[in-house]
Structure 1
Amino acid sequence: MTDSVIDLGELRHGPDPDPLPRPPRAHGRPLRCALVVLLALVTLAAAAVPPSRRAPVTLPARPGSDIMIDGDLFLVMEPTNTATRQTRLAAYRLPGGEPLWQAPLSAEARYWGMRSLAGMVLVTGFEIGPEGRETRTVALDRATGAYQWQQPGVAYELTDGNLLLRSGGETEPSSVRAVDPCCGTVRWDLPPTIAEISIRDTGRGVDRIVLSQANGLVEVRDTTTGAALARAEMRPPGGARLGIELIDDLLLAIDRGSGTINAYGLDRLERRWTRASGPIEFALDCGPVVCLRTGGNELQALDPATGDERWRSDRWLWGWPYESRLMANVSGFGPMEQYIVLDALTGRQLADLGRWELYQLGVGGRLVGIRRHPDGGVLVGELDIAAGEVRIVDVLPDATGECQAITGYLVCGATAAGSYQLWELAD
């Protein structure tokens, strides 16, 4: 999976050949999670549950297809000729599954992801060329499937409605540019760079990028204009390369060697605090606190204003903020993750939500989870983080898992001939 939060993203069948960087914070936007659920049901599973109230709609997708739900569209990306690697993208209207359009995709590329932005369906894949493997994004009109443009790189939505395209990285210089979604016209671009690039997503789009050079020079740029807002020399003692994390209005410069963190205001790069925390894997936005995943397998919470430690625990693996609360998953269970609710400021456990595969129905919407039902199909529950409770809302008798969520509906793999079916959720 390319991202680490619970989301409406496409279903995967096999590993991504060109995985995206770990997504930034999950605060204020959909979370992404792809957890394998092999569960022994506990108390909630034994509770009485309402039967599925509506007949499901079978959707036209073959096993092995990549699918995505985007509002009232069901999108299917599937091979049409395995010998030539020809692929097509087809759109169907929900909830009935009526065909709308289909578009061929170039056989020269291998496609591994799709998303919807700015009235377009953006399909991402890679092509093998003289310079090696190149990631490419193709834009199709969402309403008709008509080809619009293609550009190198992976696309992100900007706060001004344009798109940011980023290509290269790892062993190749990176390229960053902003384009108009209507036609792919470049609005600004940066020269190719070997700097590491970090992106701040506000939940309404990306508004800042940070370039971190190997020599310690760090530069913050506005994505509306591409202009530099601030530059600073941050090379740590001994010449170790910095790890850069962006959390709200903070830039955390992490010395991977010593584990020292320097926190700066993002737009002016003025230093706010310094802390020695030991080895750190990464930082997370945990709402009122900054979470660190340490090399000692702990989740550590810091005050974002001072860097002072609020709490730490080796029981929690990851955290997602919900106002003053934090939903965390329990470490040590392998594929069988369990979700709990914490007080974000103290780390005190407030509730145990059980084990679920989670989906968020729109930004700020219902948080729905599924898990196997002992009599077959899947159990559907709605997780209320504020109340620390789970409400059982439905049973989908023929579902096998591999679900996606849209407002009021779940699309899941079904037992019937390896198809996908659309279930309307009970209120």
Structure 2
Amino acid sequence: MIDLGDLSAPEYPRPDRRPRHRYRWRDLGLAFAAALCLVSLHSVPDAGPTLRLLWASPFDRTLIAQAGSGTVYVHRAVGFGGELIAHDLATGKIRWTIPTTPDAVTAGWLVVHPEPGLVLLPTATGAVVLDATTGATLWQLTGSVEGRTAQTLLIRDGGDGRASTLRLVGARDGRTIWQRPIGEVRTMRVRTDDERPAVIALDDGDLTLFRYDDGEILGRSDLPESGIDSPQLSFSGDRLLVTGFFDSRVTVTAHLLDDLAESWRTEIRGWGAVDDCGPVVCVATPAGVSGREPGTGTERWFVPGAQGMSPISDDRLVMFGSSSAADGLPAISVLDATTGRRLGDEVSGMPSSSITGEGRLIVLHPQGPPIDPTSVYDLDVVTGRRTLLGQVGYEIVNEPYELAGHYLIRQRQGRVQVMSVG
């Protein structure tokens, strides 16, 4: 499955389209660096001013860049350590800078949690929790973050064959709300992102369901046979899905969240994958992808030849279809999740998506030989209609990039560039 990026990203403001004619002296260095990078941005007749370079960082040796709430956080290597720089997403203005440790540089990741307003940087035993607005250290955590809400983080201590402990803590102060031992856990899944009560499901030899807010056990059940690997846990509606993997088949068993009683079961010959697709459960097989009723498992629709699906909004899916194009890239299109009907157009290429309002989806389509420009298309999430936004240099297909609302953040030769994309 192609990585679509963070589908839970917050809504970002649109770029300011008013022309800017004045620059402060301290901004000239940044403006000059941005101008040097314009050689990689190609205009396209009739596309309009919908794809343009806004700013480029003057700093190199970027390890990772991630957006959140109108800010892009850039972690770069400096000397024997590093530094984390918070830039205004629309203008590139630096909001704050802090030094980081060799452990953070070696780990090479950072996590932005927009709702609590946090940035997590790795340490040798966990992470340091920063205020996203100021960069100030709030507290340090040990273990790994398994789930979150706007006010809390769910932390797991231990793991890797050892007994574990779950702790729910305040997101901004680290105070413990509850904690409980959970033994050795193979698989865990947390649901906190819809209107239903938040729950924690885990495989600790049995199938166990906890209430997120207070850690109370809601139910236990025997696990279905698990096959050659640990089972996959997922949620769809008021069902908990357990997917088991075997040499030549995959099983999907749905359990009621009330008491973990088995609701329905299906078996897939060959390989298969399962995902929550809003109003349906998406089941991918070698023949295509089907949408099934979460409550009964009954097939509602089937798309033959589809290679995969991924939700982009409550009732829309991104479809990865077979491509007859010479580039061999999948044909990307938008589907109505309720009916399985394809909407609008197909574009072969590499998709990137962002949840902003009703969602946002662009597709990078290489023109041909490796040095030809790459076309950037917008696929309207409501209608599926494509719009050519413009072209960028061919290098982007081999570089990290992220779509954040109406901004495309890319890393080129160790530097961050931010473009307006409509």
Q: Give the alignment's TM-score, normalised by structure 1.
A: 0.74
User: For 1:310-321, what aligned pairs fall within 5 Å after superposition?
Assistant: 310-312=300-302, 315-321=305-311
1:185 is the counterpart of 2:175: yes
Taking a change above 3 Å as real, the CA distance of residues 184 and 60 of structure 1, as seen in their structure-2 partners, is farther
Taking a change above 3 Å as real, the CA distance of residues 50 and 181 of structure 1, as seen in their structure-2 partners, is same
**Counterparts of 1:153 and 1:168 in 2: how far apart (Å)?**
7
1:194 Cα deviation after fit: 1.0
- What per-residue deviation string (whole Å, max 9, x for no partner) do you get for residues 307-338 of structure 1? 12344456222212455553211257897232
Q: Does structure 1 retain, via aligned residues, the 8 Å contact 2:254–2:262?
A: yes
Which ranges of structure 1 fall in alignment gaps of 5 or more residues? Answer: 9-25, 32-44, 128-133
Letter paired with 2:233:
I
Letter paired with 1:339:
I
Taking a change above 3 Å as real, the CA distance of residues 95 and 350 of structure 1, as seen in their structure-2 partners, is closer
Tell me what 1:176 maps to: 166
**Counterparts of 1:418 and 1:87 in 2: how far apart (Å)?**
14
User: For 1:165-314, what aligned pairs fall within 5 Å after superposition?
Assistant: 165-203=155-193, 207-214=198-205, 217-236=206-225, 242-257=231-246, 259-278=250-269, 281-294=272-285, 296=286, 298-312=288-302
Q: Does structure 1 retain, via aligned residues, the 8 Å contact 2:360–2:381?
A: no
Tell me what 1:365 maps to: 359
1:77 Cα deviation after fit: 0.8
Taking a change above 3 Å as real, the CA distance of residues 404 and 235 of structure 1, as seen in their structure-2 partners, is closer
Q: Does structure 1 retain, via aligned residues, the 8 Å contact 2:254–2:264?
A: yes
Letter paired with 1:210:
A
Which ranges of structure 2 fall in alignment gaps of 5 or more residues? Answer: 11-42
- RMSD in angstroms over aligned alpha carbons? 3.7
Taking a change above 3 Å as real, the CA distance of residues 53 and 194 of structure 1, as seen in their structure-2 partners, is closer
**Counterparts of 1:183 and 1:392 in 2: how far apart (Å)?**
46
Tell me the secondary structure at the aligned position of residue 65 of structure 1.
Answer: strand
1:364 Cα deviation after fit: 3.1
**Pick aligned residue for 1:419 from 409, 415, 422:** 415
1:184 Cα deviation after fit: 1.5
Tell me the secondary structure at the aligned position of residue 294 of structure 2.
Answer: coil
1:243 Cα deviation after fit: 4.1
Taking a change above 3 Å as real, the CA distance of residues 275 and 47 of structure 1, as seen in their structure-2 partners, is farther
Tell me what 2:71 maps to: 73
**Counterparts of 2:94 and 2:160 in 1: how far apart (Å)?**
40
Tell me what 1:116 maps to: 112
Letter paired with 2:388:
I
Q: Does structure 1 retain, via aligned residues, the 8 Å contact 2:109–2:121?
A: yes
Q: Does structure 2 retain, via aligned residues, the 8 Å contact 1:50–1:395?
A: no
- What per-residue deviation string (whole Å, max 9, x for no partner) do you get for residues 32-54 of structure 1? xxxxxxxxxxxxx9984225676
**Pick aligned residue for 2:331 from 318, 338, 357:** 338
Tell me what 1:100 maps to: 95
1:379 Cα deviation after fit: 3.3
1:390 is the counterpart of 2:386: yes
**Which region of structure 1 is more displaced relative to structure 2, 174-183 or 217-226?**
174-183
**Counterparts of 1:228 and 1:396 in 2: how far apart (Å)?**
52
**Counterparts of 1:108 and 1:418 in 2: how far apart (Å)?**
20
Taking a change above 3 Å as real, the CA distance of residues 335 and 236 of structure 1, as seen in their structure-2 partners, is same
Aligned residues: 376
**Counterparts of 1:6 and 1:227 in 2: how far apart (Å)?**
34
Q: Does structure 2 retain, via aligned residues, the 8 Å contact 1:101–1:144?
A: yes
**Pick aligned residue for 1:409 from 404, 407, 410:** 407
Tell me the secondary structure at the aligned position of residue 263 of structure 1.
Answer: strand
Q: Does structure 2 retain, via aligned residues, the 8 Å contact 1:280–1:292?
A: no
1:343 Cα deviation after fit: 4.8
Tell me the secondary structure at the aligned position of residue 95 of structure 2.
Answer: strand
Taking a change above 3 Å as real, the CA distance of residues 239 and 335 of structure 1, as seen in their structure-2 partners, is closer
Taking a change above 3 Å as real, the CA distance of residues 78 and 53 of structure 1, as seen in their structure-2 partners, is closer
Q: Does structure 2 retain, via aligned residues, the 8 Å contact 1:159–1:207?
A: no
- What per-residue deviation string (whole Å, max 9, x for no partner) do you get for residues 51-96 of structure 1? 5676632223414421112233221111212xx4x22212223333
Letter paired with 2:346:
L
**Counterparts of 2:353 and 2:316 in 1: how far apart (Å)?**
18
1:395 Cα deviation after fit: 4.1
**Which one has the bigger helix percentage?**
2
Tell me the secondary structure at the aligned position of residue 268 of structure 1.
Answer: coil
1:256 Cα deviation after fit: 3.5
Q: Does structure 1 retain, via aligned residues, the 8 Å contact 2:199–2:211?
A: yes
Tell me what 1:17 maps to: none
Taking a change above 3 Å as real, the CA distance of residues 379 and 264 of structure 1, as seen in their structure-2 partners, is same
Taking a change above 3 Å as real, the CA distance of residues 411 and 239 of structure 1, as seen in their structure-2 partners, is closer
Sequence identity percentage: 24
Letter paired with 2:154:
L
Taking a change above 3 Å as real, the CA distance of residues 282 and 202 of structure 1, as seen in their structure-2 partners, is farther
1:152 Cα deviation after fit: 2.1
Letter paired with 1:149:
W
Taking a change above 3 Å as real, the CA distance of residues 159 and 147 of structure 1, as seen in their structure-2 partners, is closer
